[in-house]
Structures are given as structure tokens and as C-alpha cells.
Structure 1
Amino acid sequence: MKALLPIIRLLLTAEPKSMIRGAALSVIVLLMGAALLGLSGWFITATGIAGLAGIGIAFDVFRPSAGVRFLALGRTAARYGERLLTHDATLRALAALRVTLLRRQVGLDARALARLRGEAELTRIISDVDALDGVILRFVLPGLAALVTHLIVFLALAWLAGWAVAAAVLLGYVPVAVLVFWRLARQSIVPSDQVETQSQALRRGMIDMIRDRQALILRARITAREADLLAIDASTRKMMRALDLSDRNAIAALSVLTAAVTGLALLVGAAFVGQGALDPATGAIGVFVALALAEALPPFARGVADFGRMAGAAKRIGQAPGPIPATAVRPDAKPDEPVLSVDTPELALQLEAGKAAVLTGPSGGGKTSMLMQIAGMAASEGVFILGTRVTEWPDAELRNIVTMVPQRSALIAGTIRENLSLSGETKDEEMWRALAAVALDDVVRARDGLETQLGEGGTGLSGGQARRLTLARALLRKPKLLLLDEPIEGLDDATASRVLTGIRGMLPEAAILATLHRSADHPVFNISQKIDIRR
């Protein structure tokens, strides 16, 4: 429950006026239902008694029947208003929660973002927020409305039919209902949480399998992966059956409770009617009100059954990392210092503006890890950018100085213009210049120019073309230090040479550090360093 409190507070405060009006209408709906059935029971009983007594012609049927119509129509209107207000307010609050969570992820520094898998994080956020849509609608409002309604009905019954009838209804419902809900919570909290957790795992597994299907087929792992997902699905269904059984048992217990309380109200009312303390019509009010109060309990039972799912989602959301605050004092760039200085056990290097260095070494030797340290995306104490330790730079300021192009291309579904625009607001002329620098301008012109549509992840371009497009986007950032991880992998020698020359031509004043398996002797590079962290 502790994890849910901040979420409840956020949802309630997102649209407070709508929530208050919706809560009031929830209580009004239940009160009108109890009043409708109580008045109808009194009216039917009083009319029957008047008919038996032979005074039916003198009995006023107009005002009670008008009251019944008013309560029936008013209850319908209140129910409509309650659903409209509470659902609208809840959906707006959940939208605000999604934005808050996504902004929290965007606000992370590059080190934390590097540890995230975008699709997995997005799937988790969507699933967890969807799990929280019942916090207000199926848990807070039904529980609050049921409690308030029982208290008001207790006072009204005490005034109309006496304290004994009111106590029979209230004390019959509340303690036993609390016991039923407590037992339901104990039985459902674990299955409910596991259903949500395994459902998310199943969705992520399906996404991964579809995305990696070619590799799985080549490794003959597709059948094994399918078996794993079917096992998760079977376990999820088992938990769902256990949850459904607990829910149905609770509803059955509440039905028995309703019958028992109704019978108790009948006995107490009949006893007072027999003693002459109540007339038969008034004594019947408690019976019908007891039946009407049964409407308040099942909605809350559904919320209790989902409590584990909601609490687990709230806990995961509460544990999501928040933005790391930027350094309060911006470090001063020292123009006399090298753009990059590295003094670690694996590498000693100084790189001035306009210079280019290449890191060579065997696969797995630590070249990419070193670039990550220089980019501030991995812990390092021996890396300095413009004379300031890289870990002391605010992330936003560091990104304006250092740009890294990893081996894995990061492109979005959209036009080439939209992909290049991720580097910032840029004119078309600059985009074409960057494309020419990476030997991609002819390919783009042969299609639809900058309006060429790409699919998810850059589908529509070959691997080498996608890599060059990300290089062009990096060039548009115009960094002081450009880090390239295998920028010419998959390119023929002529294209590779043209790309390296184009990069230097586009950024003549930038310091460039690249990792390469070949072309390390290209004229672009002034410095060559061999690195092998495994030594």
C-alpha cells in the first residue's frame, strides 16, 4: 500500500475538481439506489396494507410514485455523470503519469540511457500505467463510496426505522465484508502481481523473438524460444485461474452476506412491528435497503482482486530512476588544453583540435569500452575534455562538445530529413553537404531526396548506408570531439576512403578518434595507438 500512496495522490491531484465531483456522484448513485429500493418497499407494503384495510381509495399514491420516478431517473443521470467525470479525470491523470515517466527517462544522463533498452522500457511503462488505471476507478472511489454510503444509510435508517434496524444492517454488513475483502486480498495479491509481471515478460519475449527471428532460425533456437514463451503463457493462465477463483469465491461470499443481512433486517423489523413499535411499511424499509446496499460491494471486490497488480506496478514505477541533476557550476573550457587527454593504464593519448587518431587492436580488446569512457558513458578517472575531467561535465554541456557514433545504427521510422533533423535545426544545404561527406548523396538523390521514407530502425537502407546516415547526422552536430566506433565497417575500400576524407573535410577543426580494424594508415589519421585491455 505504501507504494500506491504517491500514485493515488498524483492521480487525485491531476484533476481534483472532476475527481471530487465524481466521488460525490458515486455516493449519490448508491444513496439513490438505497432510497429507491427503500421507498419502493415502503410503497408496496403500505399500498398492500391499505388495500387489505379497505382504505386504498384514500391512500396517496402520487407522491410516493413521483419519488420513485425521481430517484430512478436521478440515479441514472448521476451514474452517467459519475462515469463521465471519473473516467475522464482518470484518463487525463494517466496521460500525465505517462508523460512524467517518459520525461524522467529522457532526463537521464547518457550513462544511464546506455543501460536502457528503449522498447523494453516503453513496454514496461505502458503496461504499468495501464495496470494503474483501476487504482481510482476500482479501488479508491468504490471503497470510499461504499463506506460513506453505509454510514449515511445507518443514520437515515436510525431516524426512520430505529437504531436496532440500522445497527442490524450496518453491523451485519461492515465487519463481515471487511473480513471477505481481507481474505480476498491475501489470496489474490500474489497471483495478481505475478499475472502482470509474467504478462509483461511474455510481451517482451514476443517482441524479442519477432525482432531476432532470423538469428534464432539460423541458430536453430526458434523452437526452444517458442517453448519458453508457451511456458510463460501457461504459468500466466494458471495464475489467472487462481485469481478468478478467488474473485468468484468473494462474490459468492458477498451474496451469502447480502441474504444473511436481509434476513436479519427482516427479523429485527418483524420483531418491532410485532411489538407495535413500528408500522409494517416502515419495518419493511430495512429489508429493502439491505438488499440495495449489496450494490456497493462487488465493484470494490474487483479492485481488491487487482490490488497486487496495481501495487506491483506502483512499486516498479516508484523504483524507476529519476534524472541525475546536472553539475551546479559549469566547468570552464581551457582553450590551451588539448581537446582530449587520456591517461589510463590502457591508453595514454593527447588529441589537439584538428588532429585525428585511430585505435587498433583485436576484437574484444577494449576499443569500444575506451570510447565509452571518453564519451562519459562509462566510469573513468583518467579522461579529460578541454582540461576538465569528463565526469565533472554536465551531461548537456558534454553532448555539445563530444559526439559518439557507435557501431549499432540508431535510426527512426520517417524520412531522411527527419532522421538528420535529430541533430538539431539544420538547413537542407547542410544536410546535403553532410550526405556528400559520407558518400550517400547520390543514393538519396536517386530516390526521393530528403523525403525518402525509411522504416523502423532504418529499414530501406543497407547496413553500410544506415551507418553512413548516422555518420552524417553526427557531422551536423559539429562537435569539438568526434568518436567513431568502426565507422567504415562493411564498406569497400574506395567508399571507406571517401568517407574518412569527407568526415575530415566536413569537420576540419574537430579532434577525431576512431576505432578501426582496417585503413588505420589512412592519411586522415595523424596518430595511431594500439590498445588491448585484456593484456
Structure 2
Amino acid sequence: MSALIRIARLLVSADPWAMARGAALSVAVLLMGAALLGLSGWFITATGLAGLVGIGIAFDVFRPSAGVRFLALGRAASRYGERLLTHDATLRALAALRVTLLRGFARSDAKTLARLRSEGVLTRIISDVDALDGVILRLILPLAAAALTHALVFFALVWLVGGPVAGVILAGYLPGLALILLRLGRRSIAPSSVAEETAQALRRGTIAMIRDREALILAATLPEREAALRDLDARARRAARHLDQAERGAAAHMSILVAVVAMAAFLAGALLLEAQQVGPATAVIGLFVALALAEAVLPLRRGVAELGRMVGAAARVAPRTELPTGAPPRDEIAAAPLLRLETQGLDLELAAGAALAITGASGIGKTTLMLRISGLIEGEGIRIKGTAPRDWREPALRAVVTAVPQRSALMAGTIRENLCLAGDHSDAELDAAIHAVALAEDIAARGGLSSRLGEGGAGLSGGQARRLCLARGLLCAPEILLLDEPTEGLDARTAEAVLTGIRAALPEALIIAVMHRGAAHGIFDRVVRLAG
């Protein structure tokens, strides 16, 4: 539950003004509903009594009827605005949550980030964020609006009718509602959580079965997989049925509570009428207001019924929203060497303008070393300007170090958009970068920087896609450029041009490249072979 409270605070603090506007209109809707029914009940009773005693012609029907029309129209307009603003506030809060969540994942190591490519993990994250929209729409706003409405209605009834009627309504609704919601929460947390978990497992299992259907058919295990999915579906249906039963039971108890409180308010008004403390028309106001307050009470059951789903989602999301603890990271120590390596058998001190080629057998740890230097995974014995990579502030580290891995990502869009993922650049800067990686002629043949690529860079060959990613790295103008197999898949002439262009584009940068071939190129002033 503490995780859910943390997420609730994060969502509310995302845009407090938007939340306040939505909550104000939610309260306005409930207050207008209570006032509308109370005034209507008073008006009907008063006009009936005026007719009975023969003074109907002298009774002022215009102002009460005008009030009824005003409240009816105002309630409709407020309801529209409430829907609009509460959903706007929720979407703003979820957008802020997604940004915070992505920042949390950005602090993860390379292995964790690699796991995010799994469709199961991505589906889980999306579902968790979607589940948390109920924290605002079905818990925080309805509870706050109901509490504030009951408080304001209490004082209004004390003024209009008297303390006994107001006290009966407050004393009936608050403890009764608390008991009903508490019982519903206890009955619904487990089935709500199970329904969500089994639904996710069913979705992942279905995707996996469709993806691996050929292998399952060849292995003759398709019936077993289908049976397992049917079992998951049955569990999900059972949990959903139990959840529905709990919610329906709570709705029935709330309806009984509304009827009991309304009758108690009616009896309290009757006692005041008998004691001649109020008139007949005023005595029935409590009855109608108690009935109107059902609008504030009944929607609460939906949020409590989904509490298990929200708690589970918050428990998974909240750790990613926590800020790092400990000593604050440092930006740099300018007097220290640019890069100091005392790891994996290396003892090197590298300065700006140097170029190091790293070779070695496959699996020896070349890529791991690059990930450690870039701060994507933990590693000892590495200092950038005197500070370990993981102790840098993220923006400062990315301004110094740029890594171009073997499998860099391209997206559907124009070539210009792919090059400008890390920041805006002029066309002159983009042209210089693609010339440096020997890609200018290929880009021109496709139609220039505005030509479009498909998903994942479809439309480019493997070598062209690699060079486009290299150009994007050059545009960052880092002090340390890390390259993992930059010439893989390129012919000798193109590889020569690419390495020469990279050095010319960043003459002052420290370049470290993992190379299986081409380590003897002239731009490298040192070659190191990693040993096991």
C-alpha cells in the first residue's frame, strides 16, 4: 500500500492545478445535484401545501422554479466540464508518470535495458501504467469530492433544517460507507490481483504460442500449450466472477444504506416538524438531500474493487520512480586524465585526441568493457576525468561519452529525424556528418535528408544503417567516442573512408573502437588485445 501512496503523491504533484480544477468541478456536480433534489423536494411539498390551504395563487413559484432550472442546467454543464478536466488531469499525471518511469529505466544497466525489448515486459509496463489511471479517476478524485461534499452539505443542512437532520445523514453515511468499502476491499484485492496477473499471463502465452506455433507443431506440444492457456483463461474468468460478485454485493449494501439514511433523515425531519422547529416543506429537505448524496457514494465501489490491480501495478512501478540515494553525482574533475582504465587486465591512461583499437576473441568482454565505460553497467577500475561513470550525472556523462553499439536503433521517419534524435542540428551539420561516414551519395540517391525510412530503418542496407548510426554519434560531438565494430559489413574501401572520416570529424576526441578486423588502420595509435 505504501507504493500506491507514493504513486498517488506523484500523480497529484504532476499538475496540482489541473487536479484542483477537476476536483472543484466534481464537488460542484455533487453539490448541485444535492441542491437540485433538495430544492425540488421543498418546492413540490410547498406548492402542494399551498394548494391544500387555498393560497396557491399567492405562492411564489417563479423563483424556486428558476432555481430548479438553474441547478439542472448548471449540473449538466458542470458534469461535462468535470469529465473533461478530470480526464485532462489524469492524462497529464500519467504523462508525467511515464516520463519519470522512463528516467528510472534510463538509470538501469545494459542487461535490464535489453530485457525491455521483450514483448512481455513491455506489455507489463503498459498495463501497469494503464491500471494506475484509476488512482486518480476512481480513488483520489471521487473520495476527495465525496468527503468535501458531505462536509459542505452537513453545514448547509444545519443552517436550513437543523443539526439533528444533518447529524443523522453524516452519522449514517460515513461509518456505513467505511464499513462497506472496507469489506469490499478485503474481498476484492485478491481476485482483482489474480484477474490482472492471469490476464497478463494469458496475453503473453497467446503471443508466444502464435510466434512459436511451427516449433510447437513439430514438437507435438501444441495441445499441451493450448490446455495451459485454457486453464489460465478459466482462472481469469473465476477471478473476474468473484470480483464482480464482490462489487455487486457492495452496490446492494450501498443501496440499502442510502435507503436507511434517507428514511432516518425523513424521521428526523418529522420529529423537528412535530416539535414545530421547522415547517413541513423544510422538514423533507433532508430526505431528498440524503437520496441525492447517493451520487457521491455509489461510484466509490468501482475504485475499491480495482484496488488489487492498482496495488500490484504500483508495487512494480514505484521502485523505478525513486531518485538515487547517497552522495550526489559529480560532473567532472577537469585536472584528472580524460579516461583511466584499470580493469580486465588493462592499465591505460588515455588523453583527448588518442585512438585505441581493442581486439580479442569473441566473448572475451570487449563489448562489456564498452558498456562499463559508457556507464550502462557497473564496473570497477574506470575513471572519466577522475570520476567513475556511474557517479556522473546522466546529462553530463552523455555530453562527454557517446557510444555507438553494434545494434543501434533506427525508427520509422525521415533520415533527418533519425539523425536528430539526440538534438536539433542544421542541414549543414547533418551533411557534414553523413559525408564523414561516406554516406552522402547513398542519401542523395534516396532523395536527401527528407527521404523516409520504414520501421527499424527499413529501406537501408545493413552497412548503410550502421553508417547512419555512426553519423548520429558524430553529431553529438563527444569527448569520448565508443564504437563497437564500426566497420562490420563494410567493404575495405568504405571501411577505410569511414574510419578516416570519423577521425577528421572529431580530431580532438578520444576514440575507442572494438575491432575484429581493421585494427591496423592508421587512425589508431594503440592496439590492445584483451586476454581471458
Question: TM-score with structure 1 length normalisation?
Answer: 0.78
The answer to whether the Cα contact below 8 Å between 2:357 and 2:519 also exists between their aligned partners in 1 is no
2:333 is matched with: 331
Cα distance in 1 for partners of 2:316, 2:59 equals 64
Cα distance in 2 for partners of 1:458, 1:258 equals 61
1:296 is matched with: 296
Kindly tell me: are residues 396 and 271 of structure 1, through their superposed partners in 2, closer, same or farther at Cα, counting changes over 3 Å? Answer: closer
1:470 is matched with: 469
Pairing of 1:313-332 with structure 2 (within 5 A): 313-321=313-321, 327-328=329-330, 330-332=332-334
Correspondence 1:145 to 2:145: yes
Kindly tell me: are residues 15 and 398 of structure 1, through their superposed partners in 2, closer, same or farther at Cα, counting changes over 3 Å? Answer: closer
Cα distance in 2 for partners of 1:391, 1:27 equals 48
Following superposition, the deviation at residue 40 of structure 1 comes to 3.0
Following superposition, the deviation at residue 465 of structure 1 comes to 2.1
Worse-matched range after superposition: 394-403 or 364-373: 394-403
Pairing of 1:51-130 with structure 2 (within 5 A): 51-52=51-52, 56=56, 60-102=60-102, 108=107, 117=116, 127-130=127-130
2:457 is matched with: 458
Kindly tell me: are residues 280 and 119 of structure 1, through their superposed partners in 2, closer, same or farther at Cα, counting changes over 3 Å? Answer: same
Cα distance in 2 for partners of 1:119, 1:30 equals 45
For each residue in 1:167-198, what CA deviation from the matched residue of structure 2 results, as whole angstroms up to 9, or x when unmatched?
A: 44333333222211111122223444555566
Correspondence 1:418 to 2:420: no
The answer to whether the Cα contact below 8 Å between 1:438 and 1:498 also exists between their aligned partners in 2 is yes
Kindly tell me: are residues 463 and 167 of structure 1, through their superposed partners in 2, closer, same or farther at Cα, counting changes over 3 Å? Answer: same
Three-state SS of the structure 2 residue aligned to 1:483 is strand
For each residue in 1:428-464, what CA deviation from the matched residue of structure 2 results, as whole angstroms up to 9, or x when unmatched?
A: 4554454345443332222112222122322221223
Cα distance in 2 for partners of 1:233, 1:382 equals 51
Pairing of 1:51-450 with structure 2 (within 5 A): 51-52=51-52, 56=56, 60-102=60-102, 108=107, 117=116, 127-157=127-157, 163-193=163-193, 216=212, 236=236, 238-267=238-267, 280-321=280-321, 327-328=329-330, 330-333=332-335, 341-348=340-347, 353-361=353-361, 363-385=362-384, 395-422=394-421, 428=427, 431-450=430-449
The answer to whether the Cα contact below 8 Å between 2:272 and 2:278 also exists between their aligned partners in 1 is yes
Q: What letter matches 1:291 in structure 2?
A: L
Following superposition, the deviation at residue 297 of structure 1 comes to 0.8
Cα distance in 1 for partners of 2:479, 2:160 equals 84
Worse-matched range after superposition: 408-417 or 315-324: 315-324
The answer to whether the Cα contact below 8 Å between 2:7 and 2:314 also exists between their aligned partners in 1 is yes
**Unaligned ranges ≥5, structure 2:** none
1:37 is matched with: 37
Kindly tell me: are residues 202 and 502 of structure 1, through their superposed partners in 2, closer, same or farther at Cα, counting changes over 3 Å? Answer: farther
Following superposition, the deviation at residue 477 of structure 1 comes to 4.2
The answer to whether the Cα contact below 8 Å between 1:273 and 1:280 also exists between their aligned partners in 2 is yes
Question: TM-score with structure 2 length normalisation?
Answer: 0.78
Cα distance in 1 for partners of 2:511, 2:144 equals 64
Kindly tell me: are residues 10 and 220 of structure 1, through their superposed partners in 2, closer, same or farther at Cα, counting changes over 3 Å? Answer: closer
Cα distance in 2 for partners of 1:323, 1:110 equals 16
Kindly tell me: are residues 410 and 231 of structure 1, through their superposed partners in 2, closer, same or farther at Cα, counting changes over 3 Å? Answer: farther
The answer to whether the Cα contact below 8 Å between 2:406 and 2:486 also exists between their aligned partners in 1 is yes
The answer to whether the Cα contact below 8 Å between 2:404 and 2:483 also exists between their aligned partners in 1 is yes
Q: What letter matches 1:371 in structure 2?
A: M
For each residue in 1:191-226, what CA deviation from the matched residue of structure 2 results, as whole angstroms up to 9, or x when unmatched?
A: 44555566677778889999xx5xx57866999799
Kindly tell me: are residues 177 and 448 of structure 1, through their superposed partners in 2, closer, same or farther at Cα, counting changes over 3 Å? Answer: same
Cα distance in 2 for partners of 1:115, 1:311 equals 26
The answer to whether the Cα contact below 8 Å between 1:357 and 1:528 also exists between their aligned partners in 2 is yes
Cα distance in 2 for partners of 1:432, 1:209 equals 46
Following superposition, the deviation at residue 522 of structure 1 comes to 5.4
The answer to whether the Cα contact below 8 Å between 1:360 and 1:528 also exists between their aligned partners in 2 is no
Kindly tell me: are residues 217 and 193 of structure 1, through their superposed partners in 2, closer, same or farther at Cα, counting changes over 3 Å? Answer: closer
1:488 is matched with: 487
Three-state SS of the structure 1 residue aligned to 2:483 is strand
Following superposition, the deviation at residue 470 of structure 1 comes to 1.5
For each residue in 1:306-334, what CA deviation from the matched residue of structure 2 results, as whole angstroms up to 9, or x when unmatched?
A: 33444444444432155658644621255
Kindly tell me: are residues 476 and 284 of structure 1, through their superposed partners in 2, closer, same or farther at Cα, counting changes over 3 Å? Answer: closer
Kindly tell me: are residues 39 and 235 of structure 1, through their superposed partners in 2, closer, same or farther at Cα, counting changes over 3 Å? Answer: same
CA-based RMSD of the aligned residues comes to: 4.4
Three-state SS of the structure 1 residue aligned to 2:34 is helix
For each residue in 1:503-522, what CA deviation from the matched residue of structure 2 results, as whole angstroms up to 9, or x when unmatched?
A: 45555665544333445555
The answer to whether the Cα contact below 8 Å between 2:154 and 2:170 also exists between their aligned partners in 1 is yes
For each residue in 1:451-496, what CA deviation from the matched residue of structure 2 results, as whole angstroms up to 9, or x when unmatched?
A: 2212232222122321222223334445454433223333445544
Kindly tell me: are residues 190 and 398 of structure 1, through their superposed partners in 2, closer, same or farther at Cα, counting changes over 3 Å? Answer: same
Following superposition, the deviation at residue 266 of structure 1 comes to 4.6
Kindly tell me: are residues 380 and 50 of structure 1, through their superposed partners in 2, closer, same or farther at Cα, counting changes over 3 Å? Answer: closer
Three-state SS of the structure 1 residue aligned to 2:341 is strand
Cα distance in 2 for partners of 1:423, 1:146 equals 47
Kindly tell me: are residues 300 and 378 of structure 1, through their superposed partners in 2, closer, same or farther at Cα, counting changes over 3 Å? Answer: closer
Q: Identity percentage over the alignment?
A: 55
Cα distance in 2 for partners of 1:389, 1:182 equals 50
1:515 is matched with: 514
Following superposition, the deviation at residue 26 of structure 1 comes to 3.5
The answer to whether the Cα contact below 8 Å between 1:381 and 1:391 also exists between their aligned partners in 2 is no
Three-state SS of the structure 2 residue aligned to 1:450 is coil
Three-state SS of the structure 2 residue aligned to 1:451 is coil
Three-state SS of the structure 1 residue aligned to 2:513 is strand
Q: What letter matches 2:287 in structure 1?
A: V
Q: What letter matches 1:169 in structure 2?
A: I
Kindly tell me: are residues 218 and 513 of structure 1, through their superposed partners in 2, closer, same or farther at Cα, counting changes over 3 Å? Answer: farther
Cα distance in 2 for partners of 1:281, 1:389 equals 78
Cα distance in 2 for partners of 1:231, 1:532 equals 51
Cα distance in 2 for partners of 1:201, 1:443 equals 45
Aligned residues: 524
